Amino acid sequence: MIVEADLLIHSAAQVVTCASDVPKRGAAMQDVGLISDGAVVVNDGRILAIGPTESIRERYSAGQTINASGKVVCPGFVDPHTHVVYAGDRIDEFEQRIRGATYMEIMAAGGGIVSTMHATRNASVEELVEATLPRLAQMLRLGTITAEVKTGYGLDLDSELKMLEAIAALDLAQPIDLVPTFMPAHAVPPEFNGRSAAYVEWVINEMIPAAAEWYKNSHFVADGRPLFCDVFCEQNAFDLEQSRRVLAAGLEHGLPAKIHADEFTSLGGVELAVDLGATSVDHLDVTTAEDIALLADSDVVGIVLPAVNFNLGSNEFADARALVDAGVAVALSTDINPGSAPCPSQPLVLALATRYQRLLPAEAFNAATINAAYGVGLADRVGSLSPGKQADLLLLNCTDFRQVTYQFGGNLVEMVVKNGRIL
Ligand code: NIG
Ligand code: FE
């Protein structure tokens, strides 16, 4: 008996599934679940079946078919760490850095995150949405179909809630599924200069409860998407104890934890993430061997962000090779933001990770799909081509998925399919 479905994509040179019931680690990261001459069947916006074209065609037909010969079919990319919602830009700081200033010097002088905070406080929800839509459109063209998005440029109650409103509006206004993260502890705002302890109290007692209340009434709850809580655990930002208190308060209010740790200084953020059962620990540029072992032993996803190092002109990258070899579930992300990484492109991140972090093409692919989905708590619905999951997939204009890491600076994404619909 032939089953009738909505869409059948067949004859793909390769179907790359990235399927896994658990975050991929170690040798499993080298397996992308490759099917040569593959086919994918979609019904009702979900994946119904995957397999070799011949056997799929014996069992399924569809109203719409796509001949994918000469193409690769793969899951849409998941970008698990972004600050894509902001107003203004930091082109002047970019030039200051070219002239020799460092990211941390600019931040200590009141620029950096705080400069984007001023622009963001002055923008309305509508203006934030207008400024962000073109960036999300670029990400989509480059293959990202799910993205986490942080607040953290408001740094007062109204402006942080305004950022959450903008994220919710953006989620409904364009195809990328957004996963919100509340991050009032991204920097100490100027009105709390020298009083970071008081700001942390304010975050814990006022802001996190308000965000949890906002979340309860948002469409994200109905859709089963979490609201995460994140903190920048770093010198001149929040120390380890402050980070612990912020994340613990988030957890108390039902917000799972993420943490920016070991970007410039190792303050113990990895141990904290493991201790609290965080969903992810992000950056990991200066993580110690001891902490790598600790992380490998945990369920916390390690998210590395090589576009940051590249953008800051550094030749030191997180040791993703050591992380994978130790058994950490590694994910990759752009960290798109106006300061440390104005980069919408997961394919460029894969290109960087395979060169500067010596990840194999297959490892990088899994890191930007299935492991990234685990890193945002949505692996039950995105991140791989598996029956039952959302039909979020890409047609790539190449016959070997490794081309996506081998080439850089262009765009091999030829077609984006979201919930079974061709965009
Ligand atoms: O992930 N490190 C802290 N936050 C961002 C940078 C944000 C900014 O510079 O505006 C990051 O790199
Ligand atoms: Fe970040």
Output the CA 18–ligand 2 centroid distance in Å: 25
CA 265 – CA 55 distance, rounded (Å): 53
One domain, residues 242 and 220: yes
Residue whose CA lies nearest to ligand 1 atom number 6: 340
Count how many domains the chain has. 2
CATH no. for residue 391? 2.30.40.10
Ligand 1 atom with least separation from CA of 339: 9
Ligand nearest to the CA of 338: 1
- Give residue 43 CA to ligand 2 midpoint distance, Å: 36
In a domain, 417, yes or no: yes
CA 104 – ligand 2 centroid, Å: 14
Q: Which residues pair with 259 in a beta bridge?
A: 281
| CA-nearest residue, atom 5 of ligand 1 | 340
Residues 124-144: b if buried by 16+ CB within 10 A, e if exposed: ebeebbebbeebbebbbebbb
Lining ligand 1 with CB less than 6 A are: 83, 112-113, 116, 232, 260, 263, 308, 335, 337-340
Confidence at residue 103, expressed as pLDDT on a 0 to 100 scale: 87
Domain assignment present for 214: yes
CA 339 – ligand 1 centroid, Å: 6
User: Would you state the structure tokens that stand for residue 142, as one six-digit string?
Assistant: 């480059």
Taking Cα atoms as reference points, which of 182, 277, 266 lies closest to residue 231? Answer: 182
Q: Does a structural domain hold residue 55? A: yes
Task: Give the tokens for residue 207.
Answer: 């802001």
- Ligand sitting nearest the alpha carbon of 181: 2
Q: Is residue 166, in this structure, part of any structural domain at all?
A: yes
* Residues 393 and 310 placed together within one structural domain of the fold: no
Closest ligand to Cα 261 = 1
> Any idea what the CATH number is for the domain that residue 147 is in?
3.20.20.140
Report if residue 411 sits inside a domain: yes
State the distance from the centre of ligand 2 to the C-alpha of 180, rounded, in angstroms. 13
Confidence band for 141, pLDDT divided at 50, 70 and 90: very high
Say if residue 321 is in the same domain as residue 393: no
- The per-residue pLDDT for 307 is 98
Specify the amino acid at residue 273: A
Q: Name which residue sits closest to atom 3 of ligand 1, judged by CA.
A: 232
Under the banding of pLDDT at 50, 70 and 90, the label for residue 338 is very high
The mean predicted confidence, pLDDT, of the chain is 97
Ligand nearest, relative to CA of residue 237: 1
Q: Which atom of ligand 1 is nearest to the CA of 153?
A: 10
Asked if 109 and 178 sit in the same domain, the reply is yes
- For residue 52, report the distance from its CA to the centre of ligand 1, in Å: 43
Residues 209, 66 share a domain: no
- The answer to whether residues 388 and 318 belong to one domain is no
Q: What length does the chain have?
A: 423
Q: Using an 8 Å Cβ cutoff, are 79 and 334 in contact?
A: yes
In a shared domain, residues 395 and 273: no
Whether 369 and 402 share a structural domain: no
Residue ranges making up the domain that contains 203: 77-374
pLDDT of residue 108: 85
Domain assignment present for 7? yes
Span 291-320, average pLDDT: 97
CA distance 335 to 316: 17
Cα 111 from Cα 104, distance rounded (Å): 9
Tell how far the Cα of 40 is from the centroid of ligand 1, in angstroms. 38
Residues 282, 402 share a domain: no
Instruction: Check whether 107 has a pLDDT greater than 90.
Output: no
Please, are residues 395 and 71 in contact by the beta-carbon 8 Å criterion?
A: yes
Overall pTM > 0.85: yes
Are residues 50 and 168 both part of a single domain? no
User: Would residue 379 count as lying in a domain?
Assistant: no
Q: Is the pLDDT of residue 109 over 90?
A: no
Which atom of ligand 1 is the closest one to the Cα of 340?
Answer: 9
Asked whether residue 287 is domain-assigned, the answer is yes
22-36 average pLDDT score: 98
pLDDT in tens, 147-185: 999 999 999 999 999 999 999 999 999 999 999 999 999
> Which atom number of ligand 1 is nearest to the Cα of residue 282?
1
pLDDT tens-place string over residues 36-87: 999 999 999 999 999 999 999 999 999 999 999 999 999 999 999 999 999 9
Atom of ligand 1 nearest to the CA of 335: 1
Ligand 1 atom, smallest distance to 81 CA: 1
Domain identity same for 60 and 195 = no
- Domain co-membership, 240 together with 307: yes
Mean pLDDT of 311-329: 97
User: Which pLDDT score is estimated for 110?
Assistant: 84
Q: What is the 3-state secondary structure (H, E, C) of the chain?
A: CCEEEEEEEEEEEEEECCCCCCCCCHHHHHCCCEEEEEEEEEECCEEEEEEEHHHHHHHEEEEEEEECCCCEEEECEEECCCCCCCCCCCHHHHHHHHCCCCHHHHHHCCCCHHHHHHHHHCCCHHHHHHHHHHHHHHHHHCCEEEEEEECCCCCCHHHHHHHHHHHHHHHHHCCCEEEEEEEEECCCCHHHCCCHHHHHHHHHHHHHHHHHHHHHCCHHHHCCCCCEEEEEECCCCECHHHHHHHHHHHHHCCCCEEEEECCCCCCCHHHHHHHHCCCEEEECCCCCHHHHHHHHCCCCEEEECHHHHHHCCCCCCCCHHHHHHHCCCEEECCCCCCCCCCCCCHHHHHHHHHHHCCCCHHHHHHHCCHHHHHHCCCCCCCCCCCCCCECCEEEECCCCCCHHHHCCCCCCEEEEEECCEEC
